[in-house]
């Protein structure tokens, strides 16, 4: 276990990006406004989306190709914007309300009180609009404190798309600007889905984002469930107004690249994208979209339960962070399996943790040690009472 932990750690212990210092836990842990753990810190700069032989890079290139061939006006492309952004870029510029949950330390990784690891590529929308770009794609790694299962990971990749329309575009259509642009958006993304998948079962869901109205999500049927692959909508007028585009209307989308790649290549677990095992990496190559991933591991999962009386401050994201800190990618799923409140008003949670390696069999000894460490840290860091 020690050996693997070492391997996961970054080469440098402190990085300096744009004047902001970000470092390993043991180096910067004295800063209470920094909640970036080593497991996440070590992912900075990996840039899976810029590797042409990696499923995420292959997918990015295929999406570029769709936009290049569908539009005579080429979209401007950005895939190297720094993932460390200001609170203003990540939230204020896209109209996220001051009290929105996504701003909390429970949901977002803060480097310091004014600086975050971007939680979406929408963090770059406003600036690019201000700089005069009217149709562009932004691809990058994004970071979120989140749950643990086969379709959620604290680091993943998004591609943002924005297209600005002028009055001349909708005036001849006879419908109002918003309907025209919403219709164009859906056609564009349905066309993208056909380009990537051929035929696939999908559906539109109405939703809410602070930066678009109306807003939609696209879900694709995958592994017997509906999987949310993207969010999108008609850009709030205020965002365009602030960038000096009073008379325009725009659409925007944010694609979840891992989710799309899972459907495209039949990849069953999101942790696999980080695998350096040749049995994974060798299955993909530049420009090949037709490949279906052949699983090489059927190693059994091992389940361990942990029960405790929660405190008021308890959150599931904090629990997941501890599990990832201890087990890294050996943690496959953390699931609440029991939840009750007794007569004294004390609430008990029982979580089932699934441990499984994608690459090898785990020994009982190893798993017991992981679980023992999880129990210790849960007790000491989360201020809960183990049962």
Q: Which stretch binds ligand FA5 (CB under 6 A): 150-158, 285-293, 302-310, 339-347?
A: 150-158
C-beta of 329: minimal distance to ligand FA5 in Å? 14
Can you name the residues that pair with 15 across neighbouring β-strands? 22
x/- binding map, residues 196-235, to Mg ion, per CB under 5 A?
Answer: -----------------------------------x----
C-beta of 217: minimal distance to Mg ion in Å? 6
Q: Give the residue, chosen from 245, 259, 271, 324, that forms a contact with ligand FA5 under the rule CB under 6 A.
A: 259
What sign does the CA torsion over 23, 24, 30, 31 have? positive
C-beta of 104: minimal distance to Mg ion in Å? 17
Exposed, middle or buried, 17 (CB in 10 Å: 0-12/13-18/19+)?
middle
Judged by CB under 6 A, the chain residues 210 through 229 that form the site for ligand FA5 are 211-212, 228-229
Q: Give the residue, chosen from 110, 143, 153, 265, that forms a contact with ligand FA5 under the rule CB under 6 A.
A: 153
Q: The tokens of 235 are what? A: 């850009």
Distance CA 269, CA 149 (A): 8
Tokens 């440098």 label which residue? 12
Q: Give the residue, chosen from 258, 316, 321, 329, that forms a contact with ligand FA5 under the rule CB under 6 A.
A: 258
Can you name the residues that pair with 353 across neighbouring β-strands? 304, 334
Name, in order, each residue with C-beta under 8 angstroms of 331's C-beta and a sequence gap of 6 or more. Answer: 148, 323, 324, 353, 354, 355
Q: Contact between 253 and ligand FA5 (CB under 6 A)?
A: yes
What sign does the CA torsion over 387, 335, 267, 37 have? negative
Distance CA 75, CA 94 (A): 21
Q: Contact between 41 and ligand FA5 (CB under 6 A)?
A: no
Q: Contact between 252 and ligand FA5 (CB under 6 A)?
A: yes
β-strand pairing of 135-143 with 76-78: parallel
Q: Contact between 230 and ligand FA5 (CB under 6 A)?
A: yes
Closer residue to ligand FA5 in complex, CB, 182/367: 182
Q: Which residues of this chain interact with ligand FA5, rule CB under 6 A?
A: 120, 122, 144, 146, 152-153, 156, 158, 160, 209, 211-212, 228-233, 252-254, 256, 258-259
């Amino acid at each position: 276990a020690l050996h693997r932990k070492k391997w996961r750690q970054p080469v440098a212990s402190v990085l300096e990006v744009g004047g902001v210092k970000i470092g390993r836990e043991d180096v910067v842990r004295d800063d209470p406004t920094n909640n970036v753990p080593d497991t996440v810190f070590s992912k900075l700069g990996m840039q899976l989306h810029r590797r042409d032989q990696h499923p995420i890079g292959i997918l990015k290139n295929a999406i570029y190709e769709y936009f290049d061939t569908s539009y005579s006006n080429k979209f401007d492309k950005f895939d190297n914007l720094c993932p460390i952004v200001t609170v203003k870029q990540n939230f204020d510029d896209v109209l996220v309300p001051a009290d929105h949950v996504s701003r909390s330390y429970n949901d977002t990784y803060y480097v310091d009180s004014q600086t975050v690891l971007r939680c979406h590529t929408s963090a770059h929308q406003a600036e690019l609009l201000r700089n005069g770009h009217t149709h562009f794609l932004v691809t990058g790694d994004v970071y979120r404190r989140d749950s643990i299962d086969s379709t959620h990971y604290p680091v993943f990749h998004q591609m943002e798309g924005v297209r600005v329309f002028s009055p001349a575009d909708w005036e001849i259509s006879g419908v109002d600007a918003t309907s025209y642009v919403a219709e164009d958006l859906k056609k564009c993304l349905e066309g993208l889905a056909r380009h990537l998948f051929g035929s696939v079962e999908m559906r539109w869901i109405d939703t809410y984002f602070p930066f678009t109205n109306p807003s939609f999500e696209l879900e694709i049927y995958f592994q017997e469930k509906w999987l949310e692959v993207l969010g999108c909508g008609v850009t709030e007028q205020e965002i365009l107004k602030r960038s000096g585009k009073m008379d325009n209307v725009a659409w925007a989308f944010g694609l979840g690249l891992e989710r799309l790649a899972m459907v495209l290549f039949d990849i069953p677990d999101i942790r696999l994208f980080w695998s350096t095992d040749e049995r994974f990496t060798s299955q993909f190559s530049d420009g090949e979209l037709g490949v279906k991933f052949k699983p090489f591991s059927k190693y059994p999962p091992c389940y361990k339960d942990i029960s405790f009386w929660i405190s008021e401050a308890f959150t599931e994201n904090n629990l997941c962070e501890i599990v990832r800190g201890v087990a890294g990618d050996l943690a496959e799923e953390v699931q609440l399996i029991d939840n009750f409140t007794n007569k004294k008003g004390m609430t008990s949670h029982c979580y089932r943790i699934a441990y499984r390696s994608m690459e090898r069999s785990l020994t009982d000894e190893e798993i017991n040690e992981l679980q023992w460490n999880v129990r210790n840290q849960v007790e000491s860091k989360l201020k809960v009472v183990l049962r």
